């Protein structure tokens, strides 16, 4: 079929969006690295030596026994005594993520990472590679052949519908969801099955008699706005298949840094007083980061002494954050390493290398993962935590900006052997 004939299969007005979602990502990466694990019930868990360890993700074979993400390890082993449990290896997962996004960018530059294992693509102008179905099939095949990893892909006219479509068939599904399909396919579903609606919002909706996505679509706009604010309008639009958001590869680069400094009313040399100033600055910067809906991947401090001598120090963070307590703890440590004991005239804190909240991915380091897990089971890494606690839950658990695929040689054939170049993390790293 010629290019012009293929082009006819694309809309004259409108877009074609793919949502690519890796299946059981961490477990699948471990199976790609060690093929003897394939077909076996496998779980990735924090604190594997302890009964209180939590399942981060598990293979489909483990799910058949009732094992679920966020389940305590002891419970999972009770359901599936033959369960193989491994600690997370984040270097390996990041390597696989880079490889996956490298493949996506071969079809279009319009690739927007959403997390370590999912992203949107705008393939409206990619007809040289075939029809949308052919492109999805080609991506799925390449990811499987080159990385030995399964993925599901949703094809739709916008991001919301593409996301909903990719969830409909797992693993290794390709689903097309058109606007005309919405009344039959989406509207009968319960509200908590809609992307962007969590348990808390679903419960609120029941108070005004809304139980299905169809109820939202036909809901009273004023009533929805009163109940949920601007999000009420947004979810009603989504339920009707309206989503104008563009696939934006640069969305995570919008803000460069956010900081705050203060000149002290008098020169201060008392450590506790200086700590109080740092705590106050951390709170201000935290509020500003949250307003912009971003997390800092590195922190900087500025110390100016009474003689005007000024020093700045920065620290790369293993987990991006925007919570005042986490920030205060780190900047106090940085301050103590840098402070010479003299009186201080000015202090400043800056959050750098900012990551958009909705595009950050969670590096479930064991400390923060366990900390979150004590509060509330962590479902599907980011989304359900946000739904329960609001978007800022990610700040405690930590998240990580996806490494740019441009840092990887463009000629690299990213295959299973490449995964072996990323060493096991030692306990100190985790």
Q: Which residues does the annotation mark as catalytic?
A: 118
How far is the CA of 237 from the CAs of 16, 177, 185, in angstroms? 19, 16, 16
Give Cα 82 to chain centroid, integer Å.
Answer: 31
Rounded Cα–Cα distance for residues 198 and 209 (Å): 17
CB-count exposure of residue 19 (10 Å: 0-12, 13-18, 19+): buried
Between helix 230-239 and helix 221-228 the angle, nearest 10°, is 130
Q: Going edge to edge, which strands form the sheet with 174-176?
A: 111-115, 118-122, 17-22, 151-156, 174-176
Beta bridge mates, 22: 151
Rounded Cα–Cα distance for residues 295 and 392 (Å): 10
Residue 117 labelled as part of a binding site = yes
CB-count exposure of residue 58 (10 Å: 0-12, 13-18, 19+): buried
Rounded Cα–Cα distance for residues 194 and 191 (Å): 5
How far is the CA of 107 from the CAs of 121, 326, 407, in angstroms? 9, 40, 18
Closest to 166 in 3D by CA, of 187, 180, 150: 150
Residue 403 labelled as part of a binding site = no
What DSSP element (H or E) covers 360?
none
Can you say which residues are annotated as belonging to the binding site? 21, 117
Can you say which residues are annotated as belonging to the binding site for Mg(2+)? 21, 117
């Amino acid at each position: 079929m010629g290019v012009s004939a293929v082009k006819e299969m694309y809309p004259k007005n409108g877009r074609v969006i793919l949502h690519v979602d890796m299946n059981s990502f961490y477990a699948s990466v471990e199976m790609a690295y060690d093929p003897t694990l394939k077909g076996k019930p496998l779980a990735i868990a924090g604190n594997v030596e302890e009964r209180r360890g939590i399942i981060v993700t598990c293979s489909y074979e483990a799910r058949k026994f009732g094992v679920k993400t966020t389940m305590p390890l002891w419970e999972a082993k009770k359901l599936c005594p033959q369960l193989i449990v491994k600690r997370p290896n984040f270097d390996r997962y990041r390597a696989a993520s880079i490889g996956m996004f490298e493949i996506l960018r071969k079809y279009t530059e319009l690739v927007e990472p959403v997390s370590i294992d999912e992203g949107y693509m705008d393939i409206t102008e990619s007809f040289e590679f075939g029809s949308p179905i052919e492109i999805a099939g080609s991506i799925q095949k390449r990811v499987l052949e080159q990385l030995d990893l399964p993925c599901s892909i949703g094809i739709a006219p916008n991001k919301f519908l593409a996301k909903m479509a990719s969830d409909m068939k797992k693993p290794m599904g390709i689903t097309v969801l058109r606007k005309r399909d919405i009344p039959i396919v989406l509207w009968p579903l319960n509200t908590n099955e809609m992307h962007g609606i969590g348990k808390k919002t679903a419960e609120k909706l029941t108070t005004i008699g809304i139980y299905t996505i169809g109820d939202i679509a036909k809901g009273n706009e004023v009533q929805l706005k009163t109940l949920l604010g601007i999000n009420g309008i947004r979810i009603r639009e989504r339920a009707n298949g309206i989503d104008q958001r563009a696939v934006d590869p640069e969305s995570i680069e919008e803000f460069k840094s956010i900081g705050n400094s203060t000149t002290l009313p008098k020169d201060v040399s008392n450590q506790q007083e200086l700590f109080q100033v740092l705590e106050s600055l951390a709170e201000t910067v935290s509020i500003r980061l949250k307003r912009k809906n971003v997390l800092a991947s590195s922190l900087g401090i500025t110390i100016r002494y009474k003689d005007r001598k000024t020093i700045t120090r920065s620290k790369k963070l293993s987990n991006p954050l925007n919570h005042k307590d986490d920030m205060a703890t780190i900047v106090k440590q940085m301050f103590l390493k840098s402070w010479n004991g003299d009186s201080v005239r000015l202090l400043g804190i800056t959050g750098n290398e900012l990551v958009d909240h909705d595009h950050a991915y969670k590096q479930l380091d064991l400390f923060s993962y366990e900390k979150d897990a004590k509060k509330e089971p962590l479902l599907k890494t980011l989304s359900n935590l946000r739904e329960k606690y609001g978007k800022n839950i990610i700040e405690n658990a930590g998240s990580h900006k996806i490494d740019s695929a441009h840092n990887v040689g463009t000629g690299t054939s990213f295959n299973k052997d490449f995964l072996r170049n990323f060493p096991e993390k030692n306990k100190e790293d985790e």
